[in-house]
Structure 1
Amino acid sequence: MVERNALWSAIADRFRNKLERPSYDNFIQPARLAQFDASKHTAVIEVPNELSRDRWLKTYAKEFTTFAFETNQMLLANIEVRVVEPVVDLIEEIEKNDNPDLQRQAVLKHGNNLDPKYIFDTFVVGATNQLAYGAALAVSEGSLEYNPLLLYGGVGLGKTHLMQATGNNALLNDPNQKVLYVTSEQFTNDFISAVRNGTTEKLREEYRNADLLLVDDVQFLSGKESTQQEFFHTFNDILGHSGRIVMTSDRLPKDIPDLEDRLVSRFQWGLSVDINKPDFETRIAILLEMSEKENIEVDRNVIEFIAKQVDSNVRELEGVFKRVAVISKFDSGVKATIDDATKILAELDIAQKSEVTIGFIQETVAKFFNISVADLKGKKRNKEIVIPRQIAMYLSRELTDNSLPNIGREFGGKDHTTVMHATEKISNNLEKNSPLQKNIAILKKQISGE
């Protein structure tokens, strides 16, 4: 009978001879053959993270069965790949935590600083992030069409998840490329340290040779003139050798104060995509994904209640869900209720929202402009009706989670393009029309009950 360690050693040697060194070091060396049963033709491979698991399922599991047969005449028909967190050498970890230089060396040695938990498969795609997701996926697969790619939006909307997924997927497709993820603060600290220690050339070699550079929170480059100059040349060098750059920010480059014009110009070369707050359907999908991932059953009505009440960002949504999930997880046989969720919202100081409907918006707008709801839903084209109708459509888009087609149906079966045109027209006019701004503000207060 073949001994497990001997079988793994023989197969690992075959991988070592076939693969490039980075592929072997990243995906084969950290793996282990945890179990195998020759009589049942099964084997279990343990790997340290989801990225490795995906790579094994996509490529290496099939090769593993081939090598098992070639080296030991072993037929393995069913290969299971499990993620098992690696056991950390405690002494080594303590020394590393006590020594910032060792921490940075570890990052440079591995060359990416990516968190393997951030992958595209766990990113919930919805109407408010679909374009950003598609562009990031294209960049991860080598596209230069959106170069550089800037993802911008508020806190907790998934920008970092999407950026790191870009890096992880790029390595999954080609482990030999150099991918580096940093925050703008890390880049600044590295630059300052390099200037002090006279190691700027080493720093430039590290950053400028990247095939894919991922920079989080570029708004924090604001006011840092020397760092901006270094980043400008890094940016040019990477794009000069057909490398790719992905950045995140909380705003557009032109809105970042004290950012050099030449950097603003460079950042706008490619594609800037905003990631907005997830809509109602996406929030439900996020909660269902969390429920499945944590293997915790939460009633659908509770999930929908949370999705209606928490619409600020994904991070807050996850925070509420985790508190609700604790009830089901640790109180055996008991499921969380809407009352439980309501208490948790109060504890977290999240105000409970009454649901705003399109019908209520129509009634409020009609009363405000002294017309009928039937006029709003009808086909009259006179100015006294068209403008209130457009305002009502705009407010329905702003204050509810209804899709464009749904809003159109509530306005007498209008096409979704009509709703889109109306919302865009009101949105554009708001910037330059003070009376319109005032009317919209009054209507919002009336609708929300403030």
Structure 2
Amino acid sequence: MERIALGLRAEGTSEDRTSRTELVSVLRLAIAERIGASRFELWFAKTRFELTTKAVRILAPNLFHSNWLRQNFRSQIEDSCREIGRSGIAIEFRVAEETSPPSRTEPGSGGEPTSQPVVVEPAVAQGGSSGLQPKRRFAKLEDFVVGVGNQMARTSVAMAMDRLGSINPIYWHGPTGVGKTHLSEGMWRAVRSGSVRRRAIYLTAEQFTNFFLEALHGRGLPNFRRRYRGLDLLIIEDIQFLAGKRATQTELINTIDSFAREGRQLLFTGDRPLNELTELSDELRTRLSGGLACAVQPPDLATREGIVHLGAQQRGLQLAAGVSHLIAESIVDDARRLHGALNLLMAASRLNGWSEISREDAESTLQETFQSQQRSYRLDEIEQAVCQVFGVDARSLKSDAKAKRVSQPRMLAMWLARKYSRAALSEIGGHFGRRSHSTVISAQKKVEGWLASGATVHTNGRDFRIDEAVRQLETRLRTG
């Protein structure tokens, strides 16, 4: 964190009150950086800070809370005071009730109302300072499993890491659980652990908004802008949170312009493509699209198997043949759920003393997990997804046409219906052109053969590998 020294004038002047308010905000951020986001929110969210020329008073809601702060955070608070240019100032811990009632407190004395939300950054990096290490572990780039759906995003990280600011800004979009946060954290971690001293901040759009509003209301905008615009790398996740927040959007636009001028790196993530974020201003969306914007798709089967394999290695789990495939095939919508399943297997393995986890062990342990994952779809939903992906109309899909451009989508539709619907064979056959149940079974076996051999199918004027076509169909089903 950059060193910020604010000399306090004679107490009681308006300049003094402004300086103290700014310094309190800076001190809060410095403490949050040192102890980590979760600990700060747990122990400091209900505290108030008061600052005089001689002391920092930390007002806790009760005696236990005050004693805990004194015993566990005094040294970190002292270090934070030294960092912002208040070395040697006294640190006082008090219970809030011991102070004067609010009606007798001079307005703007530097204290902050307890009702004001305290939101802190999860991590701020400057060089390799261990004092700023977040409590939780951030993901590593080397643990990221690259697949068809995420390789463009992973490549953009490599391009940016070669020279920060060379591809700016980067925007990734996709549903939850596809790896956006893993890549973001990995890039943050790689930048801060490099041999060259770099300043990097990783936070959510909600946290950026709260810090901005705190600075705006506390007259601390100059410090806020120096803090964020002087970075080498700024990562902001979940940009869709800024919908309707005009002031924050304007501030972010100016921040993007500043980064572009200085050749500094920006990375954003969101849940939708930019053209669908209609509640963001045109100016902001234009700037976000000016660098590299790409989708991060749900992991395909091969990628999910890679995630399971790596996760099992990291947990010291020995999986029997076919177990990785079983898990990857059964959990399709969220990579985080794959890790949750592995954690469950690890607990069961320790409980039962398994040296190797068999297919039967995995099925019995993960039965509820597998069942909760298997969402069912209506036949008309499957029909619509196939028509959209393959560019065929429903009438052709249900016709007797035998051309590949129609027959392949039809067989895939029946295969999807067997996998994702609760419909009987006769019902599936009837929906897709009054076909017999044996035709449905034949289509299912045909598609399974394609998957086993890595065949290609023709869709929308292009040839796709069958696993890519299935991934597109499954994504379309999930997103509607």
What TM-score range do you get, normalising by the shorter chain? 0.5 to 0.7
Displacement after TM superposition at 1:306 (Å)? 0.9
* TM-score, normalised relative to structure 2: 0.56
> How far apart in 2 are the matches of 1:244 and 1:330?
47
* Change in CA separation of 1:107 and 1:323 when aligned onto 2, cut-off 3 Å: closer
Task: Give 5+ residue unaligned stretches, structure 2.
Answer: 1-69, 78-92, 94-113, 377-385, 387-394, 420-445, 465-472
* TM-score, normalised relative to structure 1: 0.59
Residue identity opposite 2:310 in structure 1: E
Partner of 1:92: 73
* Change in CA separation of 1:240 and 1:339 when aligned onto 2, cut-off 3 Å: same
* Change in CA separation of 1:416 and 1:173 when aligned onto 2, cut-off 3 Å: farther
Partner of 1:139: 160
Partner of 1:391: 409
Displacement after TM superposition at 1:167 (Å)? 1.7
Contact 1:391 1:422 in 2 (8 A): no
**Mapped pair 1:421 → 2:461:** yes
Partner of 1:370: 400
Partner of 2:187: 166
Question: Structure 2 residue aligned with 1:241, among 259, 262, 274?
Answer: 262
Displacement after TM superposition at 1:158 (Å)? 1.1
> How far apart in 2 are the matches of 1:287 and 1:162?
17
Partner of 2:274: 253
Displacement after TM superposition at 1:329 (Å)? 2.7
Displacement after TM superposition at 1:121 (Å)? 0.7
* Change in CA separation of 1:235 and 1:132 when aligned onto 2, cut-off 3 Å: same
For 1:304-319, what aligned pairs fall within 5 Å after superposition?
Answer: 304-319=325-340
Aligned residues: 313
Question: Structure 1 residue aligned with 2:236, among 206, 212, 215?
Answer: 215
**Mapped pair 1:270 → 2:310:** no
Residue identity opposite 2:461 in structure 1: H
Q: What SS does structure 2 have at the residue aligned with 1:293? A: helix
Residue identity opposite 1:119 in structure 2: K
**Mapped pair 1:228 → 2:249:** yes
> How far apart in 1 are the matches of 2:457 and 2:363?
38
Q: For residues 299-338 of structure 1, what are the alpha-carbon distances to aligned partners after superposition, in whole Å with 9 as ceiling and x for unaligned? A: 1322211111101110111111211222223322454343
> How far apart in 1 are the matches of 2:285 and 2:133?
26
Contact 2:405 2:459 in 1 (8 A): no
* Change in CA separation of 1:133 and 1:90 when aligned onto 2, cut-off 3 Å: farther
Task: Give 5+ residue unaligned stretches, structure 1.
Answer: 1-88, 355-360, 376-384, 401-405, 425-439, 445-450
> How far apart in 1 are the matches of 2:368 and 2:74?
37
Partner of 2:216: 195
* Change in CA separation of 1:276 and 1:339 when aligned onto 2, cut-off 3 Å: same
Q: For residues 60-85 of structure 1, what are the alpha-carbon distances to aligned partners after superposition, in whole Å with 9 as ceiling and x for unaligned? A: xxxxxxxxxxxxxxxxxxxxxxxxxx
Q: For residues 363-403 of structure 1, what are the alpha-carbon distances to aligned partners after superposition, in whole Å with 9 as ceiling and x for unaligned? A: xx9994324xxx5xxxxxxxxx2530463587699899xxx
Question: Structure 2 residue aligned with 1:350, among 349, 354, 372?
Answer: 372
Residue identity opposite 1:186 in structure 2: Q
Q: Larger % of helix: which? A: 1
* Change in CA separation of 1:108 and 1:201 when aligned onto 2, cut-off 3 Å: farther
* Change in CA separation of 1:154 and 1:353 when aligned onto 2, cut-off 3 Å: closer
* Change in CA separation of 1:353 and 1:387 when aligned onto 2, cut-off 3 Å: same
Residue identity opposite 1:200 in structure 2: L
Partner of 1:125: 146
Partner of 2:177: 156
> How far apart in 2 are the matches of 1:141 and 1:397?
45
Runs of 4+ in structure 1 over 4 Å off: 93-96, 98-116, 351-354, 392-400, 413-420
For 1:310-349, what aligned pairs fall within 5 Å after superposition?
Answer: 310-333=331-354, 335-348=356-369, 349=371
What is the root-mean-square deviation of aligned Cα atoms in Å? 4.3
**Mapped pair 1:291 → 2:312:** yes
Q: For residues 235-272 of structure 1, what are the alpha-carbon distances to aligned partners after superposition, in whole Å with 9 as ceiling and x for unaligned? A: 11111100111111001122114211100100100111
